[in-house]
Amino acid sequence: MNIKKYIGNRSFYRMILAVTLPIMAQNGISTFVSLLDNLMVGRLGNESMSGVSIVNQFLFIFNLLIFGAVAAGGIYMAQFHGSGDRQGECHTFRFKFLSCLLVGILGIVILGVFQNPLIGLFLQGASADVDPVLTLSEGKAYLNIMLTSLIPFAIANVYASSMRETNDTVTPMVASIVSVGINFVLNYLLIFGHLGIPRLGVRGAAIATVIARVAELLVLIVRTHGKKERYPFIIGAYRSLKIPKTLAGQIFLRGLPLMLNELFWSLAVTLSNQCYSTLSLDVVPAQSIHTTLFNVFSVVYMSMGTAVSIIVGNLLGAGKLEEARDTDRKMIVFSVFCGCITGGAMAGFSHLFPLLYNTTDAVRSLAAYMLIVSGAIMPFSAFTNAAYFTIRSGGKVLLTVLFDSVYMWTVLMPLVYFLSRYTDISIYLLFALGQGTEVVKSVLGFFMLRRGSWVRRLVPQKEKTQ
């Protein structure tokens, strides 16, 4: 085996880190502040923590729908940038903007109208430590305020993703730092009531998030429109709503499956968590603790996946197909290596982190177990994440959907649904089996990448879109 095929030289890793570190810093700061926010809400008690955690499950679905809405456009934006087609960039930005605006409006309507039955899905298990009525009340109070943040979040993702796809990963990072700083300070003031401000609990957490997201959007808008020569995709973007039919059709044909993929993948994750919660309401606060720390340690490999889509997408757009293949292989190996390190570190914190929460020993014990299992699986998650972005960078939409959401609904969901409803399995074994499906998925991803069908160019170099 030629090890040079899998490990790059110093200049290679300098190039990778130049793209990845700003993304990692942005995501890391955001998730670390989310961790502190979660700890603050966790000090309010099980019901407040559970209510916020349940609502965040549905906001997670919305967030991934937004990511799906910008994903197909992102494929074209990266390749248009690599080929030097500035007009194509502008049309792609416009498509992403309109798509995300529509998703934001639909999210407000659906979550606003169906909030009671949606939150109630997670309140079917038994527990002596969690009051379902109070949990529902806390969840609704949080959600009703959070709905006002959906549109700013959607539009901010359009700007931030377009910047990253045109090789500016620093500005989105700065905007994120501003946002999370505001969010953290306001959370401290509003949740507990400091400096004469009333104690608002979960409502304070929601208000802080809304203000922070608006601030992030403003930073991105001011920077983009103030430096139009650096961001040609914004030049003329709002002069009309016109998008060339051919391009719009191409993006839509790839975008709709990707949006549906994100929808069904996130639904599978949410419903699998709901299946876990039917065994005990202790699962809801335990999952909140587990997810918070997991998000912190998964920042590294998740950021590597984003970097794969940018770097490999640019190389494909420039027609450098063999270089794209070689770069991708080395990035995947590096991502798995990072997953091994971070997974081990997370498992090491598994019994310490839950002690920071105002909850019961049973919840802490379950959360610690979940962290250990997820830490062991993290190298496989790092591989499947990088494989997903690799396949997507070449515009292989059907293959992406099969690998991601279809796999979740044909393997994970039947497993956890059947075992949670028709057996006496413990939550400990069920969670381990559910997480273990990532190992099987990584084997499938290996063979998909080995075929190499994702190595293709979607846009003609230098040719302008009419």
pLDDT of amino acid 79? 74
In 3D space, the residue among 159, 457, 462, 158 whose CA is nearest the CA of residue 314 turns out to be 457
Within-domain flag for 461: no
pLDDT of residue 362: 86
Question: Rounded to the nearest 10 degrees, how much is the dihedral formed by the CA atoms of 213, 392, 60, 210?
Answer: 10
Distant-in-sequence, close-in-space partners of 113: CB < 8 Å, separation ≥ 6:
none
126 has a pLDDT exceeding 50: no
What's residue 465's pLDDT? 41
For the question of whether the overall pTM of this predicted structure is more than 0.85, the answer is no
Alpha-carbon dihedral of residues 323, 327, 329, 333, nearest 10 degrees? 160
Q: Is residue 343 predicted with pLDDT exceeding 50?
A: yes
Residue predicted with more confidence, 1 or 139: 139
- Counting every residue written for the chain, the total comes to 466
- Flag whether 412 is in a domain: yes
CA separation for the pair 306, 393 (Å, rounded): 10
DSSP result, 420-450: HHHS---HHHHHHHHHHHHHHHHHHHHHHHH
Q: What is the pLDDT of residue 400?
A: 78
Return the HEC string of 222-234: HHHHHCCCCCHHH
Q: Can you give the pLDDT at residue 463?
A: 47
Token code pair at residue 196 = 């004469």
Q: What is the DSSP string of 172-213?
A: HHHHHHHHHHHHHHHHHHHHHT-TT----THHHHHHHHHHHH
Query: In this model, does residue 214 exceed pLDDT 90?
Result: yes
Sign (positive or negative) of CA dihedral 85, 86, 88, 89: positive
The average pLDDT across 71-76 equals 76
Yes or no: say if 140 and 56 are a contact pair by the CB < 8 Å rule: no
- Between residues 207 and 309, which one has the greater pLDDT? 207
462, pLDDT greater than 60: no
Look at residue 124 and tell me if it is in a domain. Answer: yes
Residue-level pLDDT at 458: 59
**Structural domain includes residue 171:** yes
Mean pLDDT taken over the chain: 83
b vs e for 379-410, b when ≥16 Cβ sit within 10 Å of the residue's Cβ?
bbbbbbbbbbbbbbbbbbbebbbbbbbbbbee
Number of independent structural domains in the chain: 1
Q: Return the structure tokens found at 301.
A: 């490999």
pLDDT at 321 over 90: no
For residue 305, the enclosing domain spans 7-450
Whether the predicted pLDDT of 125 surpasses 70: no
The residue behind tokens 């009525």 is 133
Rg over CA atoms, the chain: 22
Instruction: For residues 196-222, give the mean pLDDT.
Output: 90
The conformation of residue 409, written as its DSSP 8-state character, comes to: I
Residue 239: pLDDT over 50:
yes
pLDDT at 127 over 60: no
Q: Which residues of 12-28 are buried (b: 16+ CB within 10 A; e: fewer)?
A: eeeebeebbbbbbbbbb
Say whether pLDDT at 76 is over 80.
no
**What pLDDT score does 181 carry?**
85
Weakest mean pLDDT among 31-40, 117-126, 176-185, 414-423: 31-40
pLDDT band at 306 (very low <50, low <70, confident <90, very high): confident
